[in-house]
Structure 1
């Protein structure tokens, strides 16, 4: 390097401090700024080298690089924008990510000392310098001008292993990061694979966490547990091609808004956690391949609290948010969209009212068709039917293996009846046992007819126990009332059988009995019988509730 090269920031140091040297709070955001700069420089490759022992890392690219003039008048000029004069793309045709010219402040947020070197094609020597935060702090305290706080000279020794065969591009060395680097190579690869989608725009752009290339295979733990997929406006993404464990064919969603993306659901909510990272996959917003906001469902509290949301992840690509020089929808932290941006509000509205509504309904149907729990808030089935189906599906697993296709079909055929019969049994169990408690508490005497019926059933039970060589007690409460079903119990508490004009529990119980008995014998009921049982039981339930309330 030339030792007489002097470089300094082209901005008041106090303004630099107020702009926010600590503006970027997360390590992945810092990586995002550096990778975005490499993208804007038409780099085919970005290499990330991590040295956990020395608490340092290096980011290197093979982009166009910077001359001495570029380094001083563009890189160190806070606020310099590549988009001046309305230019929106690099010479290689890539949409610019950088806009305001303050992204380089990310470099000041995560390390004590940052060394930047760069060269363009044909240059023999690198240009660059050292940004030392302790020197900046001292200059700011003493209100020095930028020319009195030049960047320090860089040491070629620390770059020796990075400069071999490096014909052009930029290398940044971060020394003594403010947070200890604990991240492993697999950890960083997973986060980069999850949050950087530049290759969807230019497939020749590769990122390496040295020595390994970041690919969609780094998300295989997520892809192999993905159950269903919805593709929005025909997104082409290599990650989608890795979803080999889908339980149904992908569903295509078309929308007039100029977006693309996908949404997918995992088999269980815990599978949204990205193994070994502490991160959780969500619905993320990308603009020109760069993550612009994580977990956009947080803007839809009515939906984000629904059961289906705990299974959902995906990407929305909305490049029109940054399509013209006038567009400026991103917050200064570069981690979210400015509240109230009209294009973003339109996107959220369409997602909530159309796309997510469709997905949640179809997800519920797909899950139920596979014997899995769906969305309890979907009116397709009642809560009782859903809980019954869940119990039925759980129990049915004891009867099937992987190859028992015919038995699985039988079980699936029985499920609609089970969804009706199981709640109906519970209704019967509750109402009859509540009446028994009512009779006991109110010391209601048994009629001669009831005593006769009890003796009949006790005799039959004794005979059956003898045939089965059963000596244990069967009934928990071996009282006479346990041998009476609804019709016998109803006669004790509300007998209107002798008055044909009067409605009462005993008359309803007489209609209820034949269907109730068939239900208790696990018979499959006809649709007419189900309808009759439901209507009669509603009467019974109302009369039992009235009976119990009169006893309070």
Structure 2
């Protein structure tokens, strides 16, 4: 018996210890950050924590180096070793004097002690020069050096000490990034200026903190959002700098807290809306259709708007910057992710912020609707006197709904004036039709919500009669275009694309047919479908397309208009398609599929005149329902089906004359 094992057998070796390998640096910083703005945010935050008043960022025009220099308190060699070079140094917990608030009274931004590693995300070599109490020193770190220490299994990495003659500072700290990873540099200084401006809320003289890029200070105007804001809502007592808000028309104050919140919880900042969504699309600043969240003066969440799950139209116009310091309270757990761009979303503080924003945005949406109707309608009336005439002709009870409709149409992202006028025309016609049915207000309310709008229209039994002119004109144009393509004896691929964009030409019941991309891929894989013309000629195959309708599988085979086909050719091709499709569907669990093959020809085959019974049996042999149709008969049938409607659309009334003038 092995007595004593588990009690005395471990004597002298009963202590455990956790070690951290240098490899962890790869995960904590070297490969954690993906863009230069996020990396430089960490360096700028360190300068803020060092009570710097100026941070100067210089970017070499050739992309060889980046320099970040501040006039803060600097570091001694001991500070460098015990704080800067110590990964995971938690200043707020370990520095009793200035760990949470700096000597100048600034709230400390840093927390995890990982930010300095982010510099390796964009550079392979980093030099740190610093001066404190009249003594200057510096070091050089390299990714290769760190990796070598890892390979040699060293317990720590020792940066290279710089010679005194190479030290470039007499006060503060300078960080020099060399051997730049060019793919991380992004779009240049202009874009960097805008992106950094959106990462700090403490930029400018009011906060005693300047960030300069190539000698030019960053300002709130560089954020690019306020110049686009038409309506603005602010939180708290702090007044935003509106000097760059040249398009601002309306503003309102909102509550800065929920009633149930702790006494020291509050939100500051602002939320605004642009006139058009496209104004928030910036190449340099990124997508401005976002609400950024700051805590303690730096970016804490890149876009909380995405987390609100609000699909209403007004959200496409939103931008904003809010500050919620309670998210980063000293006495509470850190909820920021390692790269400090997002948060742990199940934390109660974050949940409360989401609840706060949802409540406030309800008020924003209501006021946005009112303000936009007021301003957009006036603008539209100035642009189009005919539109003003129509609005004035409406009874008072309908005018407000009509103005709401016009306001929404005015603000939709349309670039061309003619396209906007076309929207007005169709909007007026739809409003008048719905007015007759008592649904004008619903139409105005849901013009941005396609599902609700379709539901309103679908409930009206007179809809088709009221819209027949629009439908018929569109369809007759399509028939004319199709006839032109057929007369030109176009390639199968051209005919195929047009015909399948207008499937009603083949069968009126195929209005809403949907393509099965998965099935077409399988047919291609099995050698039935090919897009290569040379390969098709070699294999004797042409373009086909696959469609499903109400459980039925339909294969449409097109031939050039002037190509003469034989019945045996069609039967062999059709049978090949059916056999292949049955095999594919059987593998998917469909043992008895309903398959039809439709051949679209220009020239009749001989049996259509000489032996129709043989033709009928040959088609049935392919699969029940298979058939031949001709381009000419498709065109003639479509014209006959819709020309009768056209005769009924000749009357024009006063409304149409107004619409024609817009």
- TM-based fold match above 0.5: yes
Find the aligned partners of 1:343 and 1:182 in 2 and give their Cα distance.
34
Alignment length (residue pairs):
403
For the structure 1 residues 432 and 251, does the alpha-carbon distance in structure 2 shift closer, same or farther, using more than 3 Å as the test?
Answer: closer
Matching of residue 287 in structure 1 with residue 295 in structure 2: yes
2:216 — aligned with what?
A: 212
Alpha-carbon contact 1:65-1:118 (below 8 Å) kept: yes
- Aligned equivalents of 2:150, 2:295: Cα separation in 1: 36
User: Corresponding residue for 1:65?
Assistant: 74
Supply the distance in 2 between the matched residues of 1:46 and 1:436 (Cα, whole angstroms). 64
Which of 195, 204, 208 is equivalent to 1:191? 195
- The residue that corresponds to 2:326 in the other structure is 320
Change (3 A) 1:201 1:341: farther
- Per the alignment, residue 116 of structure 2 pairs with 104
SS of residue in 2 equivalent to 1:119: strand
CA distance in 1, matches of 2:304, 2:189: 28
In the alignment, the residues of structure 2 paired with residue 190 and residue 479 of structure 1 have an alpha-carbon distance, to the nearest angstrom, of 56
1:6-155 pair list within 5 angstroms: 12-85=21-94, 87-123=99-135, 126-146=136-156, 149-154=157-162
CA distance in 1, matches of 2:104, 2:273: 37
Taking structure 1 as reference, are residues 414 and 44 closer, same or farther at Cα in structure 2, changes over 3 Å only? Answer: farther
Partner residue of 1:253?
254
Shift of 1:279: 4.2
- Displacement of 1:424: 6.1
From the superposition, tell whether residues 398 and 135 of structure 1 become closer, same or farther in structure 2 (CA, over 3 Å). same
Contact 2:65–2:180 under 8 Å retained in 1: yes
SS at match of 1:344: helix
- Partner in structure 1 of residue 374 of structure 2: 369
Residues 231, 252 of structure 1: 8 Å contact kept = yes
Q: Which moved more, 1:40-49 or 1:105-114?
A: 105-114
Offset of residue 27 of structure 1: 1.4
Distance in 2 between residues matched to 1:320 and 1:432, nearest whole Å: 55
Match of 2:493 in 1: none
> Given the two structures, how large is their TM-score scaled by the length of structure 1?
0.65
Distance 1:69 1:61, change over 3 A: same
* Native 8 Å contact 1:222 1:274 kept in 2: no
Greater relative contact order, per chain length (Cα 8 Å cut-off, separation 6+): 1
CA RMSD between the two structures: 3.6
- Aligned counterpart, 1:426: 433
The corresponding residue for 2:350 is 344
Offset at residue 518 of structure 1 (A): 10
1:299 aligns with 2:307: yes
| Equivalent residues of 2:203, 2:211 under 8 A apart | no
CA distance in 2, matches of 1:480, 1:70: 90
Unaligned runs of 5+ in 1: 1-9, 373-391, 401-406, 438-475, 486-516, 523-552
Q: Is the 8 A contact 2:233 2:272 kept in 1?
A: yes
2: CA distance, partners of 1:101 / 1:479: 75
Whether contact under 8 Å (2:274, 2:317) holds in the other structure is yes
Provide the secondary structure at the position in 2 that maps to 1:88. Answer: coil
Distance change >3 Å, CA 393–CA 231, structure 1 → 2: closer
Aligned pair in 2 of structure 1 residues 202, 482: CA closer, same or farther (>3 Å)?
closer
Distance in 1 (CA, whole Å) between partners of 2:655 and 2:63 is 73
**2:290 and 2:306 in contact (8 A); partners too:** no
Q: Distance in 1 between matches of 2:191 and 2:376?
A: 35
Asked whether the 8 Å contact 1:201–1:289 carries over to 2, the reply is no
1:135 positional shift: 1.3
**Residue 399 (str. 1) matches residue 402 (str. 2):** no
Separation in structure 2 between the aligned mates of residue 259 and residue 65 of structure 1, nearest angstrom: 33
| Mapping 1:173-192, distance limit 5 Å | 173-180=176-183, 181-192=185-196
Find 1:267's aligned residue among 263, 270, 275.
Answer: 275
Give the Cα separation in 1 of the matches to 2:67 and 2:291: 30
Equivalent residue for 1:244?
246
Q: Deviation per CA, 1:429-452: give whole Å up to 9, x if none.
A: 994983999xxxxxxxxxxxxxxx
- Give the alignment partner of residue 332 of structure 1, picking from 338, 344, 359: 338
